[in-house]
Amino acid sequence: MKRILFCLLLTVNLLPIFAQEKEYDIVVDRNGRGNFRTIQEAIESIRAFDPKGTVTVFIRNGVYKEKLVLPTYVCNVHLIGESRDKTIITYDDHANINQMGTFRSYTFLIRGNDITLENLTVENSAEQLGQAVALHLEGDRIIVRNCRILGNQDTIYAGRDNCRQYFENCHIEGTTDFIFGPSTCWFEKCQVLSKRNSYITAASTSENNIYGYIFNQCDISLAEDVTSVYLGRPWRPYAMTLFMNCRLPEGINPQGWDNWRNPENEKTARYMEYNNSGAGAATVQRVRWAKTLTDKEAAVYTLENVMKGCDGWKINN
């Protein structure tokens, strides 16, 4: 009788776990209690251009020291961590190791379309010895929700023109140019931490692309002893960046924007602000070539307009 009761209790206790795991197609667990022990193995198991639709991958808490690549033929994948702070993907390459350069220093490279990351941490833990990308994005229609993206120089490389990437409720931190590249990106209610007197963004928006980086309702913060941070500098001449409805702290450089030692960039860079608050939001001393939008001008910059592209993509909130 006792054995029967024990089995019944064990079954009842495990039911929530079994029910939860039935919601996912693949479970990754470092301790061997899932389908795979590594995330890369899980990615490689997914059928190319799978016609069944979205594949969900649940990643249990743990530190996954992996240099991940999600290729172009792996699409419609939802990677969900068990908890944002305890499901950690980390690696420690930087640009000056064997002359690998910035673009091979990534921890996680995503080339496929329609990928969602949720509830996890992507980190480049390299010491400050060179550019070190944590998250390298080349896919279109990428969503990053409730994630931590951690690094120093060049944390996020939004790396492909005419591709769209949406960040919501994320913590993003770095030192120099730590959000950079040519993609169209919308940052919604993100916490952005600048850890050095330097530059937050280095957009390289193409001339023909209307939208570059839009930060909306974001909280910008500075590490202790950081006193002079620029909102951005143009990696390429037509860089486009807008901060709107954001909190900008004391320590944002009063000029706001830098021309990257090239006055010619002032003629083409598209740098804008609208309705920001905080001690760093005053625009009186901003560079003359940056723009403070009117209500009418700002009304164009909606999530729908920026993300819709040619296919009418809509973000599901």
Q: Is residue 38 part of a domain?
A: no
Mean pLDDT of 170-181: 98
Q: Give yes or no for residue 22 having a pLDDT over 70.
A: no
Question: At residue 15, does pLDDT exceed 50?
Answer: no
Instruction: Say if pTM beats, i.e. exceeds, 0.75.
Output: yes
Q: Out of 25, 93, 140, 177, pick the active-site residue.
A: 177
41 in any annotated domain = no
Q: Is residue 34 part of a domain?
A: no
Q: Give the C-alpha separation, 62 to 51, whole Å.
A: 31
Per residue in 199-231, pLDDT (tens digit) is: 999 999 999 999 999 999 999 999 999 999 999
Is the pLDDT assigned to residue 62 strictly greater than 70? yes
For the residues of 82-99, what is the DSSP string, one character each?
Answer: S-TTTEEEEE---TTSTT
pLDDT at res. 21: 52
Supply the range of the domain harboring residue 146: 47-307
Cα 288 from Cα 108, distance rounded (Å): 38
State the total domains in the chain.
Answer: 1
Measure the CA dihedral 22/87/116/179, to 10°. Answer: 180
The one-character DSSP state at 250 is B
Query: pLDDT value at position 3?
Result: 52
d(CA 89, CA 269): 35
Residue 12 has pLDDT above 50, yes or no: no
Examine the pLDDT at 152 and tell me if it is beyond 90.
yes
The phi, psi pair for 81, rounded to 5°, reads -85, 155
Per-residue confidence (pLDDT) for residue 80, from 0 to 100: 98
Torsion from C-alpha of 184, 189, 194, 195, nearest 10 degrees: -130
- Report yes or no on 120 lying in a domain: yes
Is 154 considered catalytic here? yes
Q: How far is 85 from 75, CA to CA, in rounded Å?
A: 26
Q: CA-CA distances (angstroms) from residue 47 to 74, 155, 250, 279?
A: 7, 30, 50, 51
Q: What is the structure's pLDDT at 155?
A: 98
| 1 has a pLDDT exceeding 70 | no
What does the pLDDT read at residue 174? 98
Examine the residue annotation and report whether 177 is marked as an active-site residue of this protein: yes
What end-to-end distance do the CA atoms of the chain give, in Å?
50
**pLDDT tens readout for residues 103-112:** 999 999 999 9
Instruction: Give the pLDDT confidence of 262-309 residue by residue, as tens digits.
Output: 999 999 999 999 999 999 999 999 999 999 999 999 999 999 999 999
Q: Is residue 316 part of a domain?
A: no
Q: Determine the average pLDDT of the residues in 131-157.
A: 98
> Pick the catalytic residue: 154, 161, 258, 311?
154
What's the pLDDT at 6?
42
Classify residue 143: in a domain, yes or no: yes
In a domain, 152, yes or no: yes
In this structure, what token pair is assigned to residue 294?
Answer: 């009117």
Could you please report the per-residue DSSP string of 132-172?
Answer: --SEEE--SSEEEES-EEE-STT-EEE--TT-EEEEES-EE
Note whether residue 82 is domain-resident: yes
81-108: average pLDDT: 98
CATH code at position 255:
2.160.20.10
Is residue 14's pLDDT more than 50? Answer: no
The predicted pLDDT at position 316 comes to: 78
Stretch 220-247: mean pLDDT:
98
Residue with tokens 């807008």: 242
Would residue 25 be called left, alpha or beta, if left means φ above 0 and alpha means ψ between -120 and 50 degrees?
A: alpha
Residue 163: its pLDDT value, please? 98
Q: Place 242 in a pLDDT band, splitting at 50, 70 and 90.
A: very high
Position 255 scores a pLDDT of: 98
